[in-house]
Amino acid sequence: MQDLARHHSIFFLILRRLRAPLILLITLFAIAVLGLTLAPGPVVDGRPSYLSFFHAFYFISYTATTIGFGEIPYTFSDQQRLWVIFSIYLSVIGWAYTLGAVFNLLSDRSLRQAIAMQTFVRQVRRLREPFYLVCGYGETGRLICHALDRMGMRAVVVEIDEAKVGELDLHAYTADVPAICADASNPETLKFAGLTHPSCVGVVALTNDDPTNLAIAISSRLLAPRVPALCRAEHDATADNMASFGTRHIINPFERFSETLALSLHAPKASQLLGWLTGVPGTEVEQRRDPPRGNWIVCGHGRFGRQMVSAMDSEAVPVTIIDLDPKPDGIHRWVRGDGTGADALRQAGVEDATGIVCGTSSDTDNLSIAVTARELNRELFVIVRQNHESNRALFDAYDADITVVPSRVIGYECIAILSTPLLAPFLDEVRARDEDWCGAQLERLTSRLGWTVPEIRSERINLSRAPALYRRLMRGETITLEMLLRSPSNRDRVLDCEVLYLDRDDDDHLLMPACDTRIRAGDELLLAGTRSALNDIGLIIANEHTLAYILTGEDLPGGWIWERLSRRKAAPARAFLP
């Protein structure tokens, strides 16, 4: 990180703002001291006495600061007391002006920003553990920060809204989250926030402004090319621009959900498998009905509505569009209106439709459309867009088939990528498989692990992450997945976890590898299961004694003393000559 810029220095800023009051105060003190040295004192031996500069300065110092030790080193004359009276009122004027300037300075926005920036930079500089730079602390940013906190990772936040920065102190985080109210599109701000810090392991751009996210992606690519960037983009042009200079992860919430909807229409089992794998760990997946094929209605042809129409077109599903500004294209049927009234819905054929998408930018309108449409057609499959997290209680009260929350769509994908980077290529492989394969895997996995969303974790077989297993593999031992997935407390019991994906350095990737697959040094395993089972896997691959028990059933002695005793006991008896 670079040094703090000069204009951010609090000391020099205070000196500039208090220049005139300090000069005035010094001048008044100098006049008071000089006058007191010139004023004649009491007559001693026929000659008037005078105060030295030291005694005069000493007296003016404690008098002007309202301490008051009396007249020293001797009782003053009337001339000296007259000058002291003048000096007292003079100092009152000087102190009043100076204190007024100080109070104005303390309420100055520039000083508060400088203090906040300098404190923030110091906090970031002192970070020694890995951290993510989160730009934007809205609904998605809060979700990401809480997820990072649960994973034991640090976060640094840059947010342009001062009110949202203030909310950070109200949220209970295990570790402090350094935050600053600043423009994240400014490269200097990103450098102060730790973009070039050695411990920065990633940048997450989550603002609701595409140009700002694009600027963050460009700054990250140029200033810290080694740091991966995960950016939000709600327009195709922005996403294409980000991709052109190598942004690793680009998330469009509307496009992502449209792909999920298209997959649900095309391959419901594949959609259920992906939903089970990418949900919030520990939550129960509800057995909901799949989106039916047939006539659909889309209310609102904005960014979200266009993505929904595109997804249905890809699956050859007929669509009727309701919008205040219809744009007939010769392909779809258009109805003018907002969908909140029954007339527009009847005109769009809601009685015969199989599903409706309430996708306007207003939560109130979306709920109104959903309620009215469900009254006209009780069997209607309803997809509702929720724009603001503050309205969650209303959407929870309404029984929609699917509620689309853009902040959650982005947040869950970001969490999956940040916590388990190997999950992204695995999901791409799953999307490419057919419906029968996905259905078989869903049945196999849920029969073992249930419908509770499993924990997803990856383990790299190397010396730092898996020293015990790595050393055995380097000695040439043959170890398979079936041999490894055993309970450390009872090797006859299989752990509640599955290997979903095996990534190898030679580009040999295995999807749902078989139990007899041999493990190699350098492999990376993507695992799904309960938290306790995944913790057991981490113990097995790292601890030699646990691994030995899993593979051989033998309990090795622990500690230096017990190892020496066991070697002595196992050593053959010596033969003594008669």
199-238 burial by CB neighbour count: b if 16+ within 10 A, else e? ebbbbbbbbebbebbbbbbbbbbeebeebbbbbbbbeeeb
The per-residue pLDDT for range 75-105, each reduced to its tens digit, is 899 899 999 999 999 889 999 999 998 888 8
Tens-digit pLDDT profile for residues 456-465? 889 999 998 8
185, pLDDT greater than 50: yes
Predicted pLDDT of residue 178: 93
Half-sphere exposure of 155 (CA within 13 A, CB side): 27
What CATH fold (topology level) applies to the domain 127-251?
Answer: Rossmann fold (3.40.50)
For CATH 3.30.70.1450, list the domain ranges present in the chain: 454-562
Q: Tell which CATH classification among 1.10.287.70, 1.10.3720.10, 3.40.50.720, 1.10.490.10 matches the domain 6-106.
A: 1.10.287.70
> Tens of pLDDT along 30-70?
999 999 999 998 888 888 889 999 999 999 888 888 787 78
- The CATH H-level (homologous superfamily) assignment of domain 286-419 is NAD(P)-binding Rossmann-like Domain (3.40.50.720)
Q: State both tokens at 110.
A: 């520039």
At 125 the pLDDT is 92
The token duo for 250 is 């680009």
Distance CA 118, CA 274 (A): 45
What is the chain's mean pLDDT, rounded? 86
Average pLDDT over residues 432-441: 88
Which residue ranges does the chain devote to CATH 3.40.50.720? Answer: 127-251, 286-419
> In terms of CATH architecture, what is 454-562?
2-Layer Sandwich (3.30)
Looking at the chain, which residues constitute the CATH 1.10.287.70 domain(s)?
6-106
pTM over 0.85: no
Cα gap 504→520, rounded to integer Å: 8
Phi and psi (nearest 5°) for 203? -120, 130
* Three-state SS annotation for 350-364: HHHCCEEEECCCCHH
Query: Are the C-beta atoms of residues 457 and 420 closer than 8 Å to each other?
Result: yes
Amino acid at 228: P
Instruction: State residue 507's pLDDT score.
Output: 66
- Give me the mean pLDDT over the 177-186 stretch: 92
Q: Taking residues 1-9, what's their average pLDDT?
A: 47
Residue 381 predicted with pLDDT over 90:
yes
Confidence label for 578 from pLDDT (cuts 50, 70 and 90): very low
